[in-house]
Structure 1
C-alpha cells in the first residue's frame, strides 16, 4: 500500500532536524516493515510518502 501527501506550502530543508511528527510517522512505518520518505525544499512545498507491505 502506498500513501502520498503533497502540499504547496513553505517547505523546509529535509537535511535539517525534522519535527517530532515526521519522526513519529517514520518510526511507525519502519516498525511495520515499510519505507518512509520526505521530499521538500524551501518555497517548494512538501511531499511525504509511505509504502507499507500488505
Structure 2
C-alpha cells in the first residue's frame, strides 16, 4: 500500500479500524493462497443458497 493510499484510508478510518482492515485483507489473502495450493475452485457460492 502506498503512503497516499494509506493517507486516503486514514481520512475515513481511525487507527483501530485501519488495523482491522489490514488484518482482514491479510486473512483473505492467506485463505486465497491456501485455496490455490490445494487447488480449490472459487466462486461457486450462490447468494441465498444456504437458507
Identify the TM-score tier after normalising by the shorter chain. Answer: 0.3 to 0.5
TM-score when normalising by structure 1: 0.32
Greater fraction strand = 1
- Greater Rg, structure 1 or structure 2? 2
Greater fraction helix = 2
| Relative contact order, higher structure (CA 8 A, sep 6+) | 1
TM-score when normalising by structure 2: 0.33
